[in-house]
Amino acid sequence: MNQPLVSVCLPNRNTLPFLPERVDTIFAQTYRNWELILSDNFSDDGAWPFFERIARKDGRVSIEQAPPEGMYANWNNCIRRAHGKYIYIATSDDTMPPDCLEELVTSIEAHPECDLAHCGLRLIDESGRQLENWYLHDIFALSSGQFIKIPHLRMAPFDGLLHLSGGTVYTSITQLLIRRELFDKIGLFETRWGSVGDFNWDMRAGLVANTIHVPDTWGGWRVHKGQATSRVDQHTIEHEGRIQEMIDHAIQATESLIAPATFQRLRSKWSTHSQRLRHFLDVVRERQDSTVLRRLFILRELLRGELAASSHIYARTASRPIWPELVRKWMRQVGVRTALVPL
């Protein structure tokens, strides 16, 4: 196989305890045609001398320091310096198995209609002990059903519309190999929404890009108290406000890239319905401890003719996850009959 260049982007700020393992997993890759783009936000824990030693040993390593302007600003710093056909963002506290790049590159090269290759996720704790399997609760897995363990194509805008649930579809950026041209289409990562801002880029990508799922490898995600996302409370009015802002931005940003019929329904109907459904489900969740109050709320919303309540009842009756079923219904409305294609 003609091996295209992969730009492995490693943004960093004060994660020295995890860097040796992170860098070792990159140098251990069976896929060899990569460059390592390092961008350090003036760490004060000894990370920069560590990077200097690495750069002296291998000409594929490029290092640079940049002002600490936030996580996504530093991701963008790396991407702008990248030369590869593909981008892999290797967050500095995480890991990857030796076959990760090889499996992802092989799969996406075989499917030029895809701009993303997606793999599973291995959760580990601060000491490297495995926690749980990502697919037990991930909306990506819920939407995949029987296809989760086999290679399959996910046709746009399916994954993008799944973001209307307000939940992450691609749980970690370490699960994705990204065709460089996709950044030219949809732009870089927005920095305005703090540590949850990749939700916005992921939605833009999912609305526009087909994805190939690669079940034979995984990206690593280390869960520890120092990571940015550990400080996010997902059940607040402020968080819901950020989610809706990111959804609205993603819709507007991709207007020229998606079918007009899809855009019109997405802007005028689906986004509004989704916002109401998220609020409805939040209230149902808050009333889990009281069956009577929960059922009275659902009944009241049904009598009011609230679509969120009828969507909830349909999904419960059919024993199917609510968001994937709703998104498939919407895609059928615009003539897209097949969201997932097994290989």
Domain spans, the chain? 6-231, 259-342
Beta bridge partners of 114: 210
Residue 241 identity (one-letter amino acid): G
Tokens, residue 135: 């697919």
Does the bond joining 151 to the residue before it have cis omega, within 30 degrees of 0? no
Determine the Cα–Cα distance for residues 264 and 266; give it in Å rounded to an integer.
5
Tens digit of pLDDT per residue, the chain (343 long)? 579 999 999 999 999 999 999 999 999 999 999 999 999 999 999 999 999 999 999 999 999 999 999 999 999 999 999 999 999 999 999 999 999 999 999 999 999 999 999 999 998 888 777 776 665 668 999 999 999 999 999 999 999 999 999 999 999 999 999 999 999 999 999 999 999 999 999 999 999 999 999 999 999 989 867 655 544 566 688 999 999 999 999 999 999 999 999 999 999 999 999 999 999 998 988 888 888 888 888 888 888 888 788 888 877 876 788 999 999 999 999 998 899 999 9
Distance spanning both ends of the chain, measured CA to CA: 20
| Residue 192 identity | R
Q: Which pLDDT score, from 0 to 100, does residue 230 have?
A: 47
- CA separation (Å) from 253 to 166, 170, 246, 264, 333? 18, 19, 10, 13, 22
Distance of alpha carbon 199 from its chain centroid, rounded? 6
Q: Cβ distance 212 to 114 under 8 Å?
A: yes
Bridge partners of 88, per DSSP, are 8
Backbone angles phi, psi at 3, to 5 degrees: -90, 105
Query: Under a CB-based contact definition with an 8 Å cutoff, are residues 186 and 208 in contact?
Result: yes
* Bridge pairing between strands 340-342 and 152-154: antiparallel
Q: What is the pLDDT of residue 128?
A: 72
Q: What is the pLDDT of residue 341?
A: 97
List helix spans (H) across the chain. Answer: 19-27, 47-57, 71-81, 100-109, 139-144, 158-162, 180-186, 198-208, 237-253, 260-265, 271-286, 291-303, 307-318, 322-333
* Cβ atoms of 282 and 297 closer than 8 Å: no
Tokens of 133: 């399997």
For tokens 């690669």, what's the residue? 214
The listed CATH number (3.40.50.1820, 3.30.470.10, 3.40.50.300, 3.90.550.10) that belongs to domain 6-231: 3.90.550.10
Question: What is the helix (H) or strand (E) element at residue 342, kind and residue range?
Answer: strand 340-342
Q: Which residue has the tokens 């690593």?
A: 220
Please tell me the predicted confidence (pLDDT) of residue 290: 86
Tell if the pTM clears 0.85, that is, is over it.
yes
Q: Within 10 Å of residue 231's Cβ, how many Cβ atoms?
A: 10
